[in-house]
């Protein structure tokens, strides 16, 4: 008996990565991100006028699990360009700020684009020092 079994979720994720030049796995949708990190990532891509596919990982917990198994990256969002993992929100934001993201995406003339204020993710710090 074969050790390998069909995994339709993993196969669908791998196919989506292969079939889309730019794809963002995120919480929510580009028009309605469900977390600040996803919102910041979408804002960076939109600021560069990048066409991209997006997958909402929230409806099925298997999506997040299988995505992390494929990418070896534990958090979301996750940006893939031409089949390669770029990274999460912090990397996307740093690359946007430095111009590397525009270069990677082939976004011409980013230097002529006025700076964009990306939405900041709310701090999730609790004070347990009562």
Q: Into which CATH architecture does domain 9-108 fall?
A: 3-Layer(aba) Sandwich (3.40)
* Cα 91 → chain centroid: 10
Tens of each residue's pLDDT in the chain, 130 residues: 444 668 889 999 999 999 999 999 999 999 999 999 999 999 999 999 999 999 999 998 999 999 999 999 999 999 999 999 999 999 999 999 999 999 999 875 444 444 444 444 443 344 444 4
Instruction: Give the span between the Cα atoms of 34 and 70, in whole angstroms.
Output: 23
Instruction: Give the span between the Cα atoms of 67 and 112, in whole angstroms.
Output: 35
Instruction: Give the span between the Cα atoms of 76 and 129, in whole angstroms.
Output: 30
Contacts of 98 (CB under 8 A, 6+ apart): none
Domain boundaries, the chain: 9-108
Global pTM value:
0.79
Q: Is the peptide bond before 97 cis (omega within 30 degrees of 0)?
A: no
What digits encode the pLDDT tens for the residues 68-106? 999 999 999 999 999 999 999 999 999 999 999 999 998
**What was the pLDDT predicted at 6?**
82
Contacts of 49 (CB under 8 A, 6+ apart): 107
């Amino acid at each position: 008996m074969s050790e390998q079994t069909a995994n339709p979720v993993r196969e669908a994720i791998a196919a989506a990565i292969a079939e889309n030049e730019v794809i963002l796995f995120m919480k929510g949708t580009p028009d309605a991100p469900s977390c600040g990190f996803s919102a910041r990532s979408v804002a960076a891509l939109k600021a560069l006028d990048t066409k991209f596919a997006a997958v909402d990982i929230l409806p099925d917990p298997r999506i997040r699990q299988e995505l992390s198994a494929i990418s070896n990256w534990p958090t979301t969002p996750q940006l893939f360009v031409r089949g390669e993992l770029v990274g999460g929100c912090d990397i996307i934001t740093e690359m946007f700020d430095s111009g590397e993201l525009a270069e990677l995406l082939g976004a011409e003339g980013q230097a002529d684009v006025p700076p964009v204020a990306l939405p900041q993710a709310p701090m999730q710090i609790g004070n347990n020092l009562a």
